[in-house]
Amino acid sequence: MQKIGKQFIFFIVLVIAWEFIVRAGGWTPDVMPKPTDVWEAMKRGFVDKTLLYDLRASFTRLFIGLAISLALGTALGIILAKSKTADDTLGALILALQSVPSIVWLPLAIMWFGLNEKAVIFIVVLGGTLVMTINMRMGIKNVPPLYIRAAETMGSKGIDQFIRVILPASVPYAVTGMRLAWAFAWRALMAAEILSTGPGLGYTLKYASDFGDMSLVIAVMILIGVIGSIVDLIFFQRIERNVMKRWGLDMN
């Protein structure tokens, strides 16, 4: 059977099982909502446009944050790859920061920027920048030496070589970096929104929780998961696959 068919049946079965188990258990929607409750909450959210405003707000922050972190990460990655001193000092710091979830910066961010957009975007930037930096650095460090030798025998060196050979050769790593940066930024955004002000998907989740509306909580959770995987599958994995193929890194 086709993969997509199997997946479709799996999710249908999952939803039906969920519905029946909750009905059989007799839980009320404020403890464990049924899929039908979640569906109603989702519909309500879209009809009164709350979720639409949330999506717009969340994506605006995400795009601003992600754009900054991609630019910053690329620049930092290049610096780390090119300067041994920077790599030994700043590189160590970045590796250490990478193991700190970016959301723990929120208290500080609120002190610096206030409880507003800027604080959230700051968290998103932190979430995406480090992983982009690490991948960009790897990409530049792993340019096949043969490319560099070939470029040199063709009279290309210095800046010219960097722009025409080293940067394009590091694109596969940069694309992986972008994909991971998006994933990290998306998680950081949701965490930051839960702890800050709206509108935004995370904020609505928190708001729903305060009013005991678990159906809406799950509806938002599903929305977060669906958007996350759609962007990853349809956008980033496709780009990654094309780049790998073109760059001759496709293992198949």
Partner 1 sequence: MFLQINQINKEYTNNKVVNIVLDNVSAAVEEGEFISILGPSGCGKSTLLSMVAGLVKPSSGTILLDSVPITKPGQDRGMVFQQAALFPWLNVEENVMFPYKKEMKKEEAIEKARHYLQMVQLSNYGKHYPHELSGGMQQRVAIARAFAMDPKVLLMDEPFGALDEQTRTRMHGELERIWLETKKTVLFVTHSISESIKLSERIIVMGTRPGRIIADIPVKLPRPRRFDAPETIELEKRINQLLKEEIDKVVKEELSYAENR
Residue numbers at the binding site for partner 1 (CB under 8 A)? 146-147, 149-150, 152-157, 164-165, 168-169, 171, 245-248, 250
Nearest to partner 1 of 128, 177 (CB atom): 177
Work out how close the CB of 250 gets to partner 1 at its nearest, in angstroms, rounded to a whole number: 8
Nearest to partner 1 of 25, 248 (CB atom): 248
Nearest to partner 1 of 129, 135 (CB atom): 135
Work out how close the CB of 167 gets to partner 1 at its nearest, in angstroms, rounded to a whole number: 10
Nearest to partner 1 of 6, 149 (CB atom): 149
Q: How many whole angstroms separate alpha carbon 181 and alpha carbon 235?
A: 13
**Residue 1 DSSP one-character state:** -
Work out how close the CB of 204 gets to partner 1 at its nearest, in angstroms, rounded to a whole number: 43
The token pair at 171 is 């694109």
Q: How many whole angstroms separate alpha carbon 22 and alpha carbon 10?
A: 18
Nearest to partner 1 of 88, 160 (CB atom): 160
The token pair at 64 is 């601003």
- Find tokens 């920077």 and name the residue: 86
Nearest to 80 by CA among 138, 159, 158, 166: 138
For 83-112, letters b (16+ CB in 10 Å) and e give: eeebbeeebeebeeeeeeebbebbeebbee
Work out how close the CB of 246 gets to partner 1 at its nearest, in angstroms, rounded to a whole number: 6
Work out how close the CB of 209 gets to partner 1 at its nearest, in angstroms, rounded to a whole number: 48
Helices 50-82 and 171-194 pack at an angle, to 10 degrees, of 140
